[in-house]
Each structure stands twice: as C-alpha cells, then as structure tokens.
Amino acid sequence: MKILLVDDDPRLRELVRMALERADYSVITARDGQSALTHAGREAPDLIVLDIGLPEMDGFEVCRRIRTTSDVPILFLTARDDEVDRIVGLELGADDYVTKPFSPRELVARVRAILKRTQGAGQRSEARHGTVRLDRGAHRAWVGAAEIALTSTEFALLDHLVRHPGQVRSRRQLIAAHWGANSPVSDRTLDSHLRNLRRKLADAGAPEALETVHGVGMRLGEA
C-alpha cells in the first residue's frame, strides 16, 4: 500500500516515513501543497497523511482540490486541538485526524484502521436499498441513475445503514461500526459526516433517505 505523507517539517516527515515503512507501507513525501497535488495525481496513493499547517497552500485547500477528482482516504495532521479545525476538515472530506504531538505508533494504527476499512469494502458484493445502490468492490454509489461521489467514511456509513434497512442505528453503533467500539470519535464528528452524506443523497434526488429518530439515532428510509 502506498502512502503520500505531506508535512513541511523535515524531521517529522522523516520520523513518520520511517514508522510507516517499518509497518511495510511504501511512502512518498511532499513538503508543500503544490507538490502534494502533483504526487497525488501522478502516484495514485492509497492514503494521504496531510498536515493542515502547510505554507502557501494549507491542508484544507489541498484536501478541497483532491476531493474534486478523488475519494482517496485522507488523514489530517493538525498542530492545534481545535474542534473547529477538525469539523472543517471532516466536512471537506477527511476521514480522520491526529493532533500533534502524536506517537508514530498511534499514526500507524490510524492509517492501518482506515486502510482496513477501505480494503474490506472491496471484499464484499453489490448492495441495494430502494434507489440507493452500492458497488463495494469499486467503491461506487448511486441514487437511481445518478452516481454520487462519497469519501471512504461516507461510503462506510451508508454501507452500514444499507445493511440494516429500516433499523434505527444509534450514534454509538455507527461509530463502532466504522471506527471501532473504543474509538474517541465524537458525536459531532459523526454528525459532520452524516450531514455531508445527507446533502449528497439529497442532491442526487433522495432528500428523505436518511431519517433522524430524535433521541435514538439514524435509519435508512425508503429512498
């Protein structure tokens, strides 16, 4: 698996590169946003580790541009434990984040968990509920004839709801299904992903697909 690592700190880049290579990942490095975009387009990485605080073009803008053409998983690095930064990043389509300072082992574990989820999607077949159709192997989704571009997290959440049609899934169940039962992911983080997913489904013609059951959770209704 190929990882694109983007950070302007050469010491951190080297530390993370070594940790990822010890975990048997192939690593490409970039020190700024423009070279990150070049590598992302040319190398087709399986995951991008992206620092928010890059010079000239910050990580948010890099993510925004990548998301216009690719749903590659993105793990943000941020120097501030700022919930606003995290929410903005997730709304732009990031899959996870790690706050500096962090241990290389923690980052490798997050990378492994994201790739396990995205690889696992390729081992399952097509699924359908109403007009919503998923091709898990190709990581593609449709509402009727309209294809919708989903991040890996949005796809996984929709996949989980398709697997339990009509059933109310609590926030804890949705978080556990995607991030793991002991994940520190907050309800607000989950809500950001669900809000993006709801908007994309609505834009494709299924505004009522995600139903909120107040005080209980979320279910996939008739789409």
pLDDT tens-digit readout, 66-99: 988 888 899 999 886 666 677 777 778 788 888 8
pLDDT at 58: 93
Same domain, 92 and 141: no
pLDDT at 136: 80
Q: pLDDT tens-digit profile of 114-140?
A: 888 776 544 446 788 888 989 887 788
Same domain, 116 and 15: yes
In sequence order, what DSSP letters do the residues of the chain get, joined into one string?
-EEEEE-S-HHHHHHHHHHHHHTT-EEEEESSHHHHHHHHHHH--SEEEEES--SSS-HHHHHHHHTTT----EEEEESS--HHHHHHHHHHT--EEEESS--HHHHHHHHHHHHHHHHHHTTS-EEEETTEEEETTTTEEEETTEEE---HHHHHHHHHHHHSTT--B-HHHHHHHHH-TT----HHHHHHHHHHHHHHHHHTT-TTSEEEETTTEEEE---
Mean pLDDT of all residues belonging to the chain: 86
Q: ∠ CA(149), CA(152), CA(157), 5° rounding?
A: 95
Q: Cα–Cα distance between 134 and 139 in angstroms, integer?
A: 7
pLDDT at 55: 87
CATH value at residue 171: 1.10.10.10
Same domain, 128 and 116: no
- Average pLDDT across each block of 10 residues of the chain; the chain has 223 residues. List them in order: 94 95 94 94 91 91 89 86 72 84 91 80 67 85 91 88 85 80 76 92 91 88 72
- Total domains, the chain: 2
Same domain, 56 and 80: yes
Is cis: bond before 10, omega within 30 of 0? no
pLDDT at 122: 47
Look at residues 120, 155, 176 and tell me which one is the last residue of a structural domain. 120
Same domain, 182 and 109: no
Look at residues 73, 93, 120 and tell me which one is the last residue of a structural domain. 120
pLDDT at 223: 63
Same domain, 68 and 168: no
Name the residue range of residue 144's domain: 124-220
Same domain, 116 and 6: yes
Same domain, 12 and 92: yes
pLDDT at 33: 94
Q: ∠ CA(192), CA(97), CA(122), 5° rounding?
A: 80
CATH value at residue 39: 3.40.50.2300
